[in-house]
């Protein structure tokens, strides 16, 4: 894949919920953000799937995608991703085929293999509704591809009778399917099936070079994708000054440190709450490590980091996760830090002055 000097930008949204904010206000802020990304020329806007997390309202990607499609005109909308073990493959195929009918040519189905939840909630999902056997993940991916296609899938019943199944009748097109991951499993499967692959660098940057090499070297061309196609995710906070960017990045870095050290999770802190209670020891070091790995800084510095990442790994697109927290006096149904991140980064990469 050729490297572009100006990588395309996309967005991954976890729909963060801050201290004192309701899920209604968080969703409203995210829908304003997708409108902004559409206007700024971002390539795609994906919603994650996480369950039972106080700081995350993104639990049902298809619902958020439908809402985002209704308030945008151009940008691709999708999942980053649907956690397939939590869902019956036919249900996923039907949901995304319907989304393709709502927004033709604009829908991405990103699929992940992790549960996106803690063990208790994972078990709850298993016993309260139809789910997929994680050991049959490859088969379920190919089933979804067939079910969503205009041709549909063909089943052979035990009686020998052939039965046709379509996710929607008279489909005009098919959502683009991406496999997501941070290990070699999904990379190998994406290569085998001739599908695009996204490395979850925002969550874990370990082994990125080896995993992308496995994907590219093992890639089997498909009709839809004759060449391997991949991009990376990156946590980003951009502001007019380094100090402001670091301040707005601190709450998310602290939440990740609490998650990885097994501490109880809360709604995302405001900037002031995070600054008032410094972490030390292992958690404090994790915060500093996160801030170094993310794109945190002024527009020029953040744009340089995006370009560096794209050039080093040979990708022409970077999906940023705008993790800028809010200040205590900012409106609860808005997300000015995340909005400013998208604005400043797009302007810096385009070479235009910030407003």
For residue 115, pLDDT beyond 90:
no
For residue 91, pLDDT beyond 60:
yes
Read off the pLDDT band of 102 (50, 70, 90). Answer: very high
Averaged pLDDT, 278-298: 91
Half-sphere exposure of 263 (CA within 13 A, CB side): 11
pLDDT by residue (tens digit) across 218-240? Answer: 999 999 999 999 999 999 999 99
pTM of the model: 0.93
Q: What is the pLDDT of residue 324?
A: 98
Q: Which of 96-105, 135-144, 158-167, 232-241 has the lowest mean pLDDT?
A: 158-167
pLDDT by residue (tens digit) across 26-39? Answer: 999 999 999 999 99
What are residue 347's phi and psi, to 5 degrees?
-65, -40
Q: Average pLDDT over the chain, rounded to whole?
A: 92
Which residue is it, tokens 């085929």? 97
Q: What is the pLDDT of residue 355?
A: 43
Decide: 174 and 101 in contact? Cβ < 8 Å. no
For 235-261, letters b (16+ CB in 10 Å) and e give: bbbbbeeeebbbbbbbbbbbbbbbeee
Averaged pLDDT, 175-179: 97
Q: What is the pLDDT of residue 29?
A: 98
pLDDT by residue (tens digit) across 245-260? Answer: 999 999 999 999 988 8
β-pairing verdict for 317-322 and 8-13: parallel
Q: Which of 91-105, 269-283, 322-336 has the lowest mean pLDDT?
A: 269-283
For residue 243, pLDDT beyond 80:
yes
Q: What is the pLDDT of residue 65?
A: 98
177, containing H or E segment:
strand 176-181
Decide: 251 and 274 in contact? Cβ < 8 Å. yes
Q: Return d(Cα 294, Cα 289) in angstroms, integer.
A: 9
Domains of the chain, first to last: 8-251+294-350 (3.20.20.30)
Bigger pLDDT: 318 vs 52: 318
What are residue 285's phi and psi, to 5 degrees?
-65, -35
Averaged pLDDT, 315-324: 97
Neighbours of 225 (CB within 10 A): 17
For residue 354, pLDDT beyond 50:
no
Averaged pLDDT, 325-330: 98
Q: What is the pLDDT of residue 122?
A: 73
Averaged pLDDT, 263-286: 91
Residues with Cβ within 8 Å of residue 305, at least 6 apart in sequence: 234, 295, 297
Q: Which of 110-114, 245-249, 277-281 has the highest mean pLDDT?
A: 245-249
């Amino acid at each position: 894949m050729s490297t572009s000097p100006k990588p395309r930008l996309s967005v991954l949204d976890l729909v963060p919920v801050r201290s004192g904010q309701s899920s209604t206000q968080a969703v409203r802020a995210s829908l304003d953000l997708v409108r902004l990304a559409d206007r700024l020329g971002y390539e795609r806007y994906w919603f994650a799937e996480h369950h039972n997390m106080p700081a995350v309202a993104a639990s049902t990607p298809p619902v958020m995608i439908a809402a985002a499609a209704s308030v945008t005109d151009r940008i691709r909308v999708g999942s980053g991703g649907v956690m397939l073990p939590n869902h019956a493959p036919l249900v996923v195929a039907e949901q995304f085929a319907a989304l393709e009918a709502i927004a033709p040519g604009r829908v991405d189905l990103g699929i992940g293999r992790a549960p996106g939840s803690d063990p208790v909630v994972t078990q709850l999902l298993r016993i309260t509704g139809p789910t997929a056997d994680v050991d049959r993940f490859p088969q379920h991916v190919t089933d979804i591809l067939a079910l969503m296609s205009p041709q549909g899938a063909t089943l052979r019943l035990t009686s020998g009778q052939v039965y046709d199944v379509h996710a929607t009748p008279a489909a005009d097109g098919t959502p683009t399917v991406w496999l997501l991951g941070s290990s070699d499993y999904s990379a190998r499967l994406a290569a085998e099936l001739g599908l695009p692959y996204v490395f979850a660098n925002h969550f874990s940057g370990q082994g990125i070079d080896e995993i992308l090499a496995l994907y590219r070297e093992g890639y089997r061309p498909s009709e839809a994708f004759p060449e391997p196609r991949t991009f990376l995710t990156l946590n980003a906070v951009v502001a007019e000054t380094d100090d402001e960017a670091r301040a707005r990045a601190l709450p998310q870095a602290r939440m990740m440190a609490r998650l990885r050290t097994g501490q109880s999770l809360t709604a995302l802190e405001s900037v002031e709450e995070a600054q008032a209670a410094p972490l030390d020891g292992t958690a404090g070091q994790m915060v500093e490590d996160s801030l170094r790995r993310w794109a945190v800084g002024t527009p020029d510095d953040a744009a340089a980091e995006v370009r560096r990442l794209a050039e080093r790994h040979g990708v022409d697109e970077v999906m940023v996760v705008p993790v800028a927290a809010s200040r205590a006096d900012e409106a609860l149904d808005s997300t000015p830090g995340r909005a400013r991140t998208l604005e400043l980064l797009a302007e810096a990469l385009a070479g235009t002055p910030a407003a």
